[in-house]
Amino acid sequence: MSQPGSATAAPVCGETGLIYQRCRWCGTASFRRLLCPVCASSDLETARSDGDGIVVRTTVVHRYTKLARNESLVRFPEGFMLRCRVIGAPPHLVWAGERVRPAAGADFSEGEVVFEVCDTRDRELDRWR
């Protein structure tokens, strides 16, 4: 277990950045909104986030399924937050402050929003102390 992080090539974040909406009137960023959450304008333009998300709050849910799954609230540098599922780590090993990015191959135009942890190499380290 001492490979220098060359196992899998990470997707380029610039090409997989999250698509969000920005209000042309007040500049508020939002995600999957028809109206601006601040000024209720419908004049929203589509933009692409160029930064990683940061997990704000994270929980493990067992609802409707026997398998535990992660549900997290993620904040983006553009200023909006969204609820999503985080993969790439066991559901109970996703923590607040974690950097996440849109999961490769995920469809963000509809359906479930899925992110993956950016740095999986730290996963074996003991960060619980």
Instruction: Give the residue, chosen from 10, 19, 32, 38, that forms a contact with Zn ion under the rule CB under 5 A.
Output: 38
Instruction: Give the residue, chosen from 17, 20, 21, 28, that forms a contact with Zn ion under the rule CB under 5 A.
Output: 28
> Do residues 76 and 32 make contact, with C-beta atoms less than 8 angstroms apart?
no
Q: What angle do CA 127, 113, 81 make, to 5 degrees?
A: 70
Over its C-alpha atoms, the chain yields an Rg (Å, rounded) of 16
Task: Note whether 30 binds Zn ion by CB under 5 A.
Answer: no
Task: Note whether 23 binds Zn ion by CB under 5 A.
Answer: yes
Instruction: Give the residue, chosen from 19, 26, 96, 104, that forms a contact with Zn ion under the rule CB under 5 A.
Output: 26
Stretch that binds Zn ion, among 30-38, 43-51, 95-103, 117-125 (CB under 5 A): 30-38
Alpha carbon separation from 128 to 51, 93, 103, 107, 123 (Å, rounded): 26, 10, 25, 33, 11
Q: How far is the CB of 19 from Zn ion (least distance, A)?
A: 18
Q: Which residues pair with 75 in a beta bridge?
A: 54, 81
Tell me the C-alpha distance between 127 and 129, whole Å.
6
Task: Note whether 41 binds Zn ion by CB under 5 A.
Answer: yes
Q: How far is the CB of 59 from Zn ion (least distance, A)?
A: 30
Task: Note whether 25 binds Zn ion by CB under 5 A.
Answer: yes
Task: Note whether 39 binds Zn ion by CB under 5 A.
Answer: yes
Place of tokens 């549900």: 71
Residues within the interface to Zn ion (CB under 5 A): 23, 25-26, 28, 36, 38-39, 41
